[in-house]
Amino acid sequence: MKKLNFILKLTCIAMSLFFLSNTLKAQSNIIEHEVKYLSVAPVIDGELDSNLTYLKPREFPVKNKSNNNNPDVDVSYRLAYGTDFFYVYIEVDAEKLVYRDRAYQNGDGFHMVLAKPIADNEPTEEFYVLAGSAVNKKSMEWTRNIFWYYNVDNIFKRTSKDTQLMFLEKDGKTSFELVLPWKDVYPYHPWISENIGFNLCFVKAIGEKEKNIYKVLEDEMGAENSSRKYKNLKFQQPLHETENQTYFVLDRNNIKGKETISGISATVSAGKDNEELIVKIISGENTLVDYSRQTFTCEQGVNIKHFDINKNPIATGGYKIEWYSKLNASKGETYLTSLPEFNLPEIRKEIESIKENISKPSYQTLQFKAFEIDKELNEVKTYETCGNQRLAISKILSQINKGKNGEDIIYGKRGFIRKAYRSELDEKLIPYMVYIPDDYDPNKKYPLLVYLHGSASDETNLKGAKFTIPEGFIALAPNGRGPSNCYTWDNAQADIAEALNAVTESYSIDETNIILSGFSMGGYGVYRTYSEAPEKYKALAIFSGNPNIANMWSGTNNYMDFTQEKNLEIFKNVPMFIFHGKKDINCAFDITQGIIEKLNNNGAIVKFVTEDDKGHETPGQKTILSYYDWVRAVLNNDK
């Protein structure tokens, strides 16, 4: 019996230690000091409002330097929130702001994670990464405030105009002041979300190229296709002193069939009071489809209400959900998609039924699009609208119906077209994008531009790089079988070759006039791809590339390094247009500059163009016109 009691005591102690360990772990993942509540949003001018000096300055626990000789710089931040906003103020012990290309990465600027925590506070795949930069020229204004990442695989998502960021130099300090509407990080909200994860990184530029990096939690917040670490925020219970304020979200922003539309409202009140909330469902034609009127009594503090909105089922389509209080100034809008049925096996049968009526590339493209739609529908989050998927379903059904009548509208399309081929390597359907001139004539031969996208992108990036497509060209952008493989692993080279074959088989291409081009990581891809298949390409155009990025990213020396002269011999007599902005830090200008002489020594015919004020970005108009002149000279064999 004594032995049994001893075992029971040990078991109890072990369980107590286990629960204590979990409790301490959970507590250690909470940001120290709760985030204070504000009834009114601050004035955003870069300076801390005099009535907000009570907000506690917070230190960055993690501090790193790109060079150990960098001076120490004191940086702190303050947080607050309101019913419809999140507030961040960052103060730096520096007299002057430094303006760099993509300052949110390179200084002076910051990036911030707001995330949906998961069990045991493991890294999450649901998050926003907001980037904020000090900017002093129009071409970099897009970096002032933009979502660098949204969830794992979305990049550069715009904020609304209501997100405000200002920066300031004053009294020997520089500062950044941000107000971020909760609607921009939908559906996160302190009173509706179970928890909100947080991380913040400030980047201080030091000298010409160095930087100090300050973080709340050690994590690579700019990592591509990766989950994010975070600490949980603890929000102060609001001590509200003005009229009621309400915030509203949908229970889900996509529905199928006759599902009910439900909402959640959160109203903060200074005391016992009434609230009357109107929620309207507005069609794409701006017609009122249905509405809900909710009247309820509020107690002091936060009042949460769940309710249904629609009385009747709504038709397939896209809808705007407008909401407002009849008793105070609270109002807003969100969006909803009502999806049609999409049965992949049935769609596949329909595609098979028109196989003989359309071209092989169109048939394979329809197969790919059907699988892609099904995959996206299975992965969509409850808080996401599905407008693109709804339109894609409508489009593929229309294309199938046209095919039944013998019309191949995919082949006949002009402009930018996303297509697919079935790989001989592994039978996978792989997408690619083409650009076909409006006046395309199959009886005429066209020069071809092959464009390799940069990292964290895909073949659709061709639309954003339209400047690379000279007049009279057909263009191809391969997928590369991945967003960030340097066109070196993941069978990326096989994809380029197969996509090229698909285009030359589908369209009238002059195969003696194919120019290979790429931006950033795609610039390395140009060097690499030409070294694999030099017989296919007449000339090369490299924009802001890094000739050794595969080794730098992999941390190895396993891949071709085109800064080494022995790897440049293959470019003898090859016309090359190379552009690089002198302020580029992401793909350092010095590396490209360092190989120009080596290329010339090896007999390459290089036209090297730089711009003093350009970073990692599209070149200026003068450079683009110079590029077009170079293309014309190449086509005329005027080397």
608-617 pLDDT, tens per residue? 999 999 999 9
In terms of Cα–Cα distance, which of 98, 63, 59, 62 is closest to 79? 59
Whole-angstrom Cα distance, residue 298 to residue 239?
A: 14
pLDDT of residue 619: 96
Looking at domain 245-339, its CATH class is mainly beta
Per-residue b or e along 66-78, where b marks 16 or more CB atoms closer than 10 Å to that residue's CB: beeeeeebebbbb
The percentage of the chain sitting over the pLDDT mark of 70, rounded to a whole number, equals: 95
pLDDT at 179 over 90: yes
pLDDT at 639 over 60: no
The conformation of residue 625, written as its DSSP 8-state character, comes to H
Terminal C-alpha separation, the chain = 97
Q: What is the mean pLDDT of the chain?
A: 94
In terms of Cα–Cα distance, which of 454, 453, 484, 479 is closest to 223? 484
Q: For the domain with range 29-232, which CATH number is right: 2.40.30.10, 1.10.3720.10, 3.40.50.920, 2.60.40.1190?
A: 2.60.40.1190
pLDDT at 4 over 90: no
Same fold, 29-232 and 245-339: yes
pLDDT of residue 258: 86
pLDDT band at 16 (very low <50, low <70, confident <90, very high): very low
pLDDT of residue 3: 55
pLDDT band at 124 (very low <50, low <70, confident <90, very high): very high
What value does the mean pLDDT take over residues 354-372?
A: 97
Give how far Cα 567 sits from Cα of 450, 496, 498, 530, 602, Å: 22, 21, 25, 11, 10
Domain ranges, ordered by start, for the chain: 29-232, 245-339, 342-407, 413-635
pLDDT of residue 241: 86
pLDDT of residue 29: 86
pLDDT of residue 442: 96
Whole-angstrom Cα distance, residue 174 to residue 68?
A: 23
Whole-angstrom Cα distance, residue 188 to residue 130?
A: 14
Whole-angstrom Cα distance, residue 497 to residue 570?
A: 19
Least confident span in 8-22, 372-386, 394-408, 592-606? 8-22
The answer to whether residues 485 and 559 touch, using CB atoms and an 8 Å cutoff, is no
In terms of Cα–Cα distance, which of 305, 309, 306 is closest to 289? 309
Cis peptide before 108 (omega within 30 of 0): yes
Least confident span in 13-17, 137-141, 494-498, 590-594? 13-17
3-state secondary structure 65-98: ECCCCCCCCCEEEEEEEECCEEEEEEEECCCCCC
468-478 pLDDT, tens per residue? 999 999 999 99
In terms of Cα–Cα distance, which of 487, 449, 494 is closest to 468? 449
Q: For the domain with range 413-635, which CATH number is right: 3.40.50.740, 3.40.50.1820, 1.20.210.10, 1.20.140.90?
A: 3.40.50.1820
Give how far Cα 406 sits from Cα of 238, 377, 395, 593, Å: 65, 29, 17, 55
Whole-angstrom Cα distance, residue 521 to residue 456?
A: 9
State how beta strands 509-519 and 539-543 pair. parallel
pLDDT of residue 134: 98
pLDDT at 19 over 50: no
* Burial of residue 28, with CB atoms counted within 10 A of its CB: 0-12 exposed, 13-18 middle, 19 or more buried: exposed
